[in-house]
């Protein structure tokens, strides 16, 4: 019996970050190797106005900045308080083997040669990430982060400029939790679709309230949190005409449920696992 909906597209969350350091080109390469449709990345501004790929405002979790005597004090260990040159000098990959955030190193799922190569991995600029994506043939979901008091408008303007220069027409989706950033992006770049991200609390809001917000924004997609996305809600949003790309979907049972409800995509730390689960579902 054929599956009633197209199977969800698999997006690699910050790249395939279960097997490579997140938001690096190494994680993007892993996403490609695992067969992902696209990769999701996060963008922030540096002190000198460059757009870099980083999830956290602070850089201590995913770089060696805390051990660098040539860097400013702890309070300045933030993307928006460092220049691009300072950020580019950081090791954004050496931590992965040591911390093993998903247990994949201990399980032997990451070859030693790859682990050794992660040391010295750099935080990419958005321009570099888009250039790599174009060459790789993947799609990309650019999440515009909240600058937390910084220049959110400049981040949007620069993101628009870089996307338009990238030559990735038709393969870019822009998302954000910050509605004002999406509104400005839509005004400046209406040809690129946007997805509204919802945190756990917002995902649990009444369906009609969420739909009203999507329509007002002119969004093409909704990106809800899997933790509070109750059964049946993904189908309701799909039936209202919106793509539903759910994050962060790592459990097989959630992958299967979302496929059954017609979700357009799942954003996962384990692309290969998702493809295996969905492939088995598609063959039923």
Domains of the chain are 9-59+124-282 (3.20.20.190)
Does this model's pTM top 0.95? My answer is: yes
Residue 278: C-alpha distances to residues 196, 238, 254, 256, 260 (Å): 25, 19, 11, 7, 10
Residue 251: partners with Cβ closer than 8 Å, 6 or more residues away: none
CB atoms within 10 A of CB 185: 23
**Closest CA relative to residue 182, chosen from 129, 221, 228, 212:** 221
pLDDT digits (tens, 9 = 90+) for 68-125: 999 999 999 999 999 999 999 999 999 999 999 999 999 999 999 999 999 999 999 9
Q: What is the pLDDT, as a whole number, of residue 1?
A: 45
Which residues of the chain are modeled with pLDDT < 50? 1
Q: What is the pLDDT, as a whole number, of residue 169?
A: 85
């Amino acid at each position: 019996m054929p599956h009633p909906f197209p199977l969800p597209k698999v997006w690699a969350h910050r790249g395939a970050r279960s097997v490579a350091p997140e938001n690096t080109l190494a994680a993007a390469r892993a996403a490609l190797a695992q067969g992902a449709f696209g990769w999701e990345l996060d963008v922030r501004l540096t002190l000198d106005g460059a757009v870099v790929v980083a999830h956290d405002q602070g850089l201590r979790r995913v770089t060696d900045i805390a051990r660098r005597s040539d860097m400013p004090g702890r309070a300045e260990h933030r993307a928006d308080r460092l220049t691009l040159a300072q950020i580019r000098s950081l090791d954004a990959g050496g931590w992965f083997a040591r911390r093993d955030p998903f247990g994949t190193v201990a399980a032997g799922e990451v070859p030693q040669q790859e682990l050794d190569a992660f040391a010295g991995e750099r935080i990419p600029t958005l321009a570099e990430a888009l250039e790599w994506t174009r060459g790789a043939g993947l799609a990309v979901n650019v999440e515009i982060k909240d600058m937390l008091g910084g220049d959110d408008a400049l981040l949007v303007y620069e993101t628009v400029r870089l996307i338009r220069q990238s030559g990735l027409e038709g393969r870019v989706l822009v998302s954000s939790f910050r509605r004002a950033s999406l509104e400005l992006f839509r005004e400046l770049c209406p040809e690129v679709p946007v997805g509204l991200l919802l945190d756990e609390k917002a995902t649990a809001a009444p369906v009609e309230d969420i739909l009203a917000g999507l329509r007002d924004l002119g969004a093409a997609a909704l990106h809800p949190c899997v933790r509070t996305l109750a059964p049946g809600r993904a189908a309701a949003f799909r039936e209202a005409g919106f793509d539903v790309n759910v994050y962060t979907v790592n459990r097989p049972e959630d992958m299967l449920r979302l496929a059954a409800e017609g979700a357009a995509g799942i954003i996962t730390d384990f692309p290969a696992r998702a493809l295996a689960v969905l492939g088995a579902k598609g063959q039923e």
